[in-house]
Structure 1
């Protein structure tokens, strides 16, 4: 199964804590609880300092897309500075985190997965002009283009487009002009493929 998504398919959703709005790129349904999600990809604009929404039982990965960055104060841990684009940072959704902006609004990419039913990894793939890269298949693979254009299957994907693949064989990514792609591998223990 392969599905291609673009900005017309995305939807704006209020933050769980009411502090802002996120653009939901894709939400995979939970296998047993319709009130939850299995996994979710989104892009949020953070315009002011404040607390993160709490998501107990959810593993989160966040990375800066645009802006000067932010400092995350995590209760019981050291502060984390996110000031470099496309550098993933993973943390538990139940962690109490306060965000301080380093210099104005930022946009960030969010991956969330229910840890009781799945595990996910986020890799940022950089392709030079004319470059190729082969990614392992199996499970669920989600590709989101951060910069440039990339060919996987069919017409090239452009910036802000997402490709959702179920149980693919290995994937050959190619870019004529160069590209940066967020590649998510989602695995469900006990699931086939």
Structure 2
């Protein structure tokens, strides 16, 4: 198990100046150093504008704070996202523009190389004293959003990230209530043979 906290994260301004991204974790690509296998980050979006383009990347976005945003992908109708919306999955190569609804937002981003990795992202809300069993196959990543939780006895506070490899079933628990992002990353079979 690896534990990451704010001192391990990196803040990077967007190329277009529209916000700042806090990179929580980046897994290197197995054969292309300029690319990544997977990346977790939290973006502070200060103004409406275009998103960066990431060819071959599957993106999952979740609004954490603020009134929300409306995304336009190509010529498709706007998709409105707020804190109650489920995670939104979209292709990184799509021309995507963002319109803020009422001021700045913070959003959680998961990006993976879709040719090599299959990903899922779920937000787990734990009531005080609540528990949840988390499957433990592949790479399991948990990020504390609110409150304090424990993962099979290991504490997880807000802004902390835990990274585990094939740990087997896990029990997520909170005495006071918590909100936790749970991510599963699984290598696609074709990628293990190098083809």
- TM bucket, shorter chain: over 0.9
**RMSD across aligned C-alpha pairs, in angstroms?**
1.3
Query: What is the 5 A alignment of 1:63-102?
Result: 63-85=62-84, 87-102=86-101
Q: In the alignment, which residue of structure 1 is the partner of 2:20? A: 21
Q: In the alignment, which residue of structure 1 is the partner of 2:106? A: 107
1:14-70 Cα deviation digits (max 9, x unpaired) = 335553320000001111111111000000000011000000100000010000111
**d(CA) in 1 for partners of 2:148, 2:68:** 25
**d(CA) in 1 for partners of 2:92, 2:160:** 26
1:88-131 Cα deviation digits (max 9, x unpaired) = 10000011111111111000000000001101000111111111
TM-score by length of 2: 0.93
**d(CA) in 1 for partners of 2:75, 2:46:** 25
Q: In the alignment, which residue of structure 1 is the partner of 2:162? A: 163
Structure 1 consecutive aligned stretches of length 4 or more whose deviation exceeds 6 Å: none
Query: Does the CA contact (< 8 Å) of 1:65 and 1:86 recur in 2?
Result: no
**d(CA) in 2 for partners of 1:160, 1:85:** 20
- Bigger mean CA deviation after superposition, 48-57 or 85-94: 85-94
Query: Does the CA contact (< 8 Å) of 2:115 and 2:188 recur in 1?
Result: no
Q: In the alignment, which residue of structure 1 is the partner of 2:31? A: 32
Query: What is the 5 A alignment of 1:171-182?
Result: 171-182=170-181
TM-score by length of 1: 0.94
Count residues in correspondence: 190
5+ residue gaps in structure 2?
none
5+ residue gaps in structure 1?
none
Cα 1:33–1:16, aligned 2, differ >3 Å: closer, same or farther? farther
Query: Does the CA contact (< 8 Å) of 1:71 and 1:81 recur in 2?
Result: yes
